[in-house]
């Protein structure tokens, strides 16, 4: 990761003010420091984010496409920082995350958190959602990050961010050219899915509940990479989070498939023992 939280803030402030001087004033920085930070960000990725127009800076097409993502990322960092700051000491903090979050999101936010709190001692482990919940309820970890809503009287859930699941196949699969699945395609396909207790599987089964008795679940894996490899090898079609698949879609080795009139969306949650959550007064 080549950018810093500080660079994100500077990028967004310059985009808001369209002027280095006003952005510097807002950030309580010198104009030269703001200019240098922005230039370093552009050089690190070999992109130009602004068009320089006399005394103002205007976001170009690249900058505009990244602005919303930068705002979301900074908002998530603030949210994650607040959740962790609920612990009064920056001592040893144990975080347990379900596989998709742990492998694709949590490390990013923990890295940003540690950049601002370098003395914190943070331990991250991954497991499926039921195992994460069990550790939270047994007070084996301080905070969990899970992929589906779990009802338990001793568990407090804090909504974090939305996620989209995508059905996909290999680029050479017969369905790749079709793009949209019909009910008979869903029934005839060999499905390669996450294990039954996973958040992704729960969302998949809920969305396709009326077709579920006729669906052929050919293979089940705990890990996303195993599913991607099996699908890429042509063994069947799968369903995983878009954040797991986007790079493969961009490379063209995997192809997204549409499910008409069905939404495969879910919410990611922070999970805490309810007693601990109530003691923080939040």
What's the CATH code of the domain at 180? 3.40.190.10
Exposed / middle / buried, residue 144 (Cβ in 10 Å: 0-12, 13-18, 19+): buried
139-148, 171-180, 199-208, 268-277 — which is least confidently predicted? 268-277
Tell me what pLDDT residue 168 has. 97
| End-of-domain residue from the set 76, 105, 120 | 76
Q: Are residue 50 and residue 126 in the same domain, yes or no? A: no
* Of 30, 47, 76, the domain-final residue: 76
Report whether pLDDT(189) > 70: yes
C-alpha angle 253-48-108 in degrees, rounded to nearest 5? 55
Assess whether 170 and 258 both reside in one domain: yes
Confidence of residue 91 (pLDDT cuts 50, 70, 90): low
CATH no. for residue 48?
1.10.10.10
Query: For 125-153, what is the mean pLDDT?
Result: 89
Is residue 87 located within the same domain as residue 144?
yes
Residues 261 and 272 in one domain: no
Write out the residue range of the structural domain in which residue 251 sits.
Answer: 163-265
What is the pLDDT, as a whole number, of residue 93?
A: 77
User: For residue 95, which of 116, 115, 125 has the smallest C-alpha distance?
Assistant: 125
pLDDT of 89 reads 53
Separation of alpha carbons 71 and 74, rounded Å: 5
Q: Which residue matches tokens 């943070």?
A: 122
Same domain, 225 and 258: yes
Tell me, yes or no, whether 32 and 125 share the same domain.
no
Q: What is the number of structural domains in the chain?
A: 3
Helix axes 242-251, 224-232, angle to 10 degrees: 30
What is the pLDDT averaged over residues 117-136?
A: 86
Q: Name residues whose C-beta falls within 8 Å of residue 239's C-beta, 6 or more positions apart in sequence.
A: 165, 166, 167, 168, 191, 193, 200, 204, 264
Domain boundary residue, one of 76, 110, 136 = 76
pLDDT value of residue 57: 87
Q: 150 and 33, same structural domain?
A: no
Residue 278 has pLDDT above 70, yes or no: no
Closest CA to 180 of 93, 257, 76: 257
Which percentage of the chain shows pLDDT scores above 70? 93
Query: What Å distances lie between residue 186 and 166, 170, 180, 189, 216, CA to CA?
Result: 14, 16, 10, 6, 9
Confidence band (pLDDT; 50, 70, 90) for 227? very high
| Mean local confidence (pLDDT), 129-133 | 91
| Structure confidence at residue 86 (pLDDT) | 59
Give me the mean pLDDT over the 246-274 stretch: 90
Judgement on whether residues 172 and 45 belong to the same structural domain of the protein? no
Residues 275 and 210: their CA atoms lie apart, in Å, by: 39
133 and 55 within one domain: no
């Amino acid at each position: 990761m080549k950018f810093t939280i500080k660079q994100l803030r500077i990028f967004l402030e310059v985009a808001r003010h369209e002027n280095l001087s006003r952005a510097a004033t807002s950030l309580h920085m010198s104009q030269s420091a703001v200019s240098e930070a922005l230039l370093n960000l552009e050089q690190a990725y070999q992109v130009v984010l602004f068009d320089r127009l006399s005394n103002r800076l205007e976001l170009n097409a690249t900058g505009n496409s990244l602005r919303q993502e930068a705002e979301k990322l900074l908002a998530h960092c603030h949210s994650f920082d607040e959740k962790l700051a609920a612990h009064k000491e920056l001592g040893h903090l144990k975080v347990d995350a379900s596989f998709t979050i742990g492998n694709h999101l949590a490390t990013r936010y923990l890295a940003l958190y540690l950049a601002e709190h370098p003395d914190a001692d943070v331990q991250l482990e991954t497991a499926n959602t039921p195992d994460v919940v069990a550790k939270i309820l047994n007070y084996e970890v301080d905070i969990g990050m899970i992929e589906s809503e779990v009802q338990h009287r001793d568990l407090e859930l804090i909504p974090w961010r939305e996620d989209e699941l995508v059905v996909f196949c290999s680029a050479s699969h017969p369905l790749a050219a079709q793009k949209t699945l019909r009910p008979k395609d869903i029934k005839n396909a060999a499905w390669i899915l996450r294990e039954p207790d996973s958040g992704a599987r729960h969302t998949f089964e809920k969305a396709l509940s009326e077709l579920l008795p006729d669906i052929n679940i050919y293979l089940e894996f705990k890990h996303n990479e195993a599913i991607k490899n099996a699908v890429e090898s042509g063994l069947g079609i799968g369903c995983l989070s878009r954040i797991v698949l986007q790079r493969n879609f961009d490379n063209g080795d995997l192809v997204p498939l549409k499910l008409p009139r069905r939404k495969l969306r879910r919410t990611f949650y922070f999970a805490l023992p309810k007693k601990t959550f109530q003691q923080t007064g939040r």
